[in-house]
Amino acid sequence: MDYTAPTTQFFFDMNNKMFYKKDDRNYITQVGIQQLNTLGNTSLLDIYLSTGNVVEPHIHQNASELVYCVSGAAVVSLINPFTNELLNYPIKPGQVANVPQGWWHYEIATVDNTHLIAIFDAPTPEAIFGSDILRLTPPSILAHTYCLDEAKVKDTLAPIRNTVIIGPPSDCPTGQVQSGMTNAPHQAHHTHHGHHANPSVNQGHYPHAQPWQRMLQSQPQAYAYPPHAYQQQPHGQPAGFWSFP
């Protein structure tokens, strides 16, 4: 890097680089080496969410992610592939949650005006989103693999036509979202080193809870592949593979 060159960049306004926008209260801006060429092995997303909005389940196959809460509150959820546990970590201003490279994770805002900063140890973070896995895998394969009704799988996944990134999608019927979350079964929550992994979310029932709170109460055992199982595509970037521009 020639720091004397006229093309050397030391400043960038992230307001000028929108990564994704659902609406005026739910959007993500970004900065990476393409925007600021003096950056080393790091990049950043500025995430703004309102209550109940979710940065959809995904993995970063080339980077770890440190999530810092600037304002509001959120729950960072991740699957530990070595213990097969779903772990939920509530964070509020001044607190962080770390997601190792390749781990399945998502973030849910629990109050309005939530502002998160996601910091990556890669100049250009890459991502594979759950919506792409669901919409691009043939229903016949899912049904055959998991012994499911193919017609029901196809009908259930039909509304997922694009990469979601921030969900629920703007055109999703409110009643449909609430129904799916309300019916989530309450199960015993996992612990971490003898302590509750998410004490503010999973201790006890919420009889008058919002749908997203009921959803967080459910922690089914999950299985994930170890980080090395997710490899960057060697030739190009097919549908479902994201590299932040």
The answer to whether residue 134 is domain-embedded is no
The answer to whether residue 41 is domain-embedded is yes
Q: Does 35 or 216 have the greater pLDDT score?
A: 35
Beta bridge partners of 69: 116
The answer to whether residue 74 is domain-embedded is yes
The answer to whether residue 217 is domain-embedded is yes
* Mean pLDDT for the stretch of residues 87-112: 98
The pTM assigned to this predicted structure is 0.76
Task: Please give the angle made by the CA atoms of 149, 153 and 157, to the nearest 5 degrees.
Answer: 175
The answer to whether residue 137 is domain-embedded is no
The answer to whether residue 85 is domain-embedded is yes
The answer to whether residue 178 is domain-embedded is yes
- pLDDT (tens digit, 9 = 90+) per residue, 10-46? 999 999 999 999 999 999 999 999 999 999 999 999 9
Output the domain CATH number for residue 58.
Answer: 2.60.120.10
Structural domain count of the chain:
1
Name the band, by pLDDT with cuts 50, 70 and 90, for residue 176: low
**DSSP code of residue 184:** P
Range of the domain at 104: 14-128+164-243
Would you say 38 and 32 are in contact if contact means Cβ atoms under 8 Å apart? no
The answer to whether residue 116 is domain-embedded is yes
Q: Is the pLDDT of residue 109 over 90?
A: yes
